[in-house]
Amino acid sequence: MNDLRQLRHFVALAEYGHFARAAEAVNLSQPALSRSIQALEASLGCSLLDRGPRQISLTAHGRLVLEHARRLLDGGRALRSAVTQLDNLDSGELRLGAGPYPAARLVPRALGRFASSHPGVQVQLSIENWHSLRQRLLDDAIELFVADVREFEGDPQLDIIPLRRHAGTLFCRPGHPLLERGPLALADLADYALAGTQLPVEVARAIGELSGSAKPLGIECDNFMVLKAVVAESDVISMAPWDVVAEDVASGRLAVLDPLRNTRTSSAYGVVSRATRSLSPAARAMRDLLLEEDREFPAV
């Protein structure tokens, strides 16, 4: 059976789509890379590539092998890192995921403390929505993540530690025209674009019922820092859990609107890992810091 080097060569070729560039990336000559791919095809008994004059494309077999190759390589990296970290946390790596809202406050605070205590550990942070993070976790591309977990309830593949809930908050720039009005209903927001990250079904339903729109978001973006910048520079309004806008509101960079006060929307963060896997020392340390940071945020 093929070794991990051949799989690594194949993944590089699939990503670069060109023998010369892939060969350079893996520090091989182009003929050596070609021989490695041919050996992999021979061991698997199938063709993985359609070779064109300027670039290659994957066959159906190639796409299947690529999916499994990435999982094997990620698993190999995780194994090496765990063994390296067994006695100390002076080296190794941590592959961590975060949803847009935890990535705006909770994760940076915990990550800063982690890096200060363990500067030799290399950290890779992926910021994506909860669906993508779950798949990356099951593919062994990340070891744990922090995101909205309300759609993961009862998932036997996941170990979930719920975090504190924070009330949903509607916010805008200081000086927004809506701030000059009296008490607001969601219907008053119809003249302004509502921006937000991808909404969990439960939240989207609640906002949609109150606003009278099946698609309440006019702007959807999973980068919360971009959303805050859009709001600060326009009359666009946005929504987020209170913990990620509290400091901006206190400093006067953002202002709070009232209509979400009675919608019972809230965050539902959780720290998520594989139910059947033990965490590496680095992942355990990061999980503990996340839980500490979660407890330390002042209650409102």
213 pLDDT tier (thresholds 50, 70, 90): low
Q: Where are the domains of the chain?
A: 4-78, 88-164+268-296, 168-262
Given this model, what pLDDT does residue 287 score? 95
The matching CATH number, chosen from 3.40.50.1110, 3.40.190.10, 3.40.50.2300, 3.30.70.1450, for 168-262 is 3.40.190.10
Instruction: Domain 4-78: give its CATH architecture.
Output: Orthogonal Bundle (1.10)
**For the segment 63-108, what is each residue's pLDDT rounded down to a tens digit?**
888 888 888 887 777 777 666 665 567 778 899 999 999 999 999 9
The matching CATH number, chosen from 3.40.630.30, 1.10.10.10, 3.40.190.10, 3.40.1260.10, for 88-164+268-296 is 3.40.190.10
Considering only residues 3 and 167, tell me which one the structure prediction assigns the higher pLDDT: 167
| pLDDT above 90 (res 206) | no
Given this model, what pLDDT does residue 300 score? 53
> Cα–Cα distance between 9 and 23 in angstroms, integer?
8
Note whether 88-164+268-296 and 168-262 share their fold. Answer: yes
Given this model, what pLDDT does residue 196 score? 85
**AA letter at 297:** F
**For the segment 130-188, what is each residue's pLDDT rounded down to a tens digit?**
999 999 998 888 999 999 999 898 899 999 999 999 988 889 999 999 888 777 766 77
> Cα–Cα distance between 212 and 210 in angstroms, integer?
6
Rounded alpha-carbon distances, angstroms, from residue 169 to 26, 53, 238, 247, 264? 48, 56, 8, 13, 10
Q: For residue 252, is it left (φ>0), alpha (ψ between -120 and 50) or beta?
A: left
**Percent of the chain at pLDDT exceeding 70:** 86
219 pLDDT tier (thresholds 50, 70, 90): confident
| pLDDT above 60 (res 1) | no
> Cα–Cα distance between 114 and 50 in angstroms, integer?
45
Given this model, what pLDDT does residue 26 score? 87
pTM above 0.85, yes or no: no
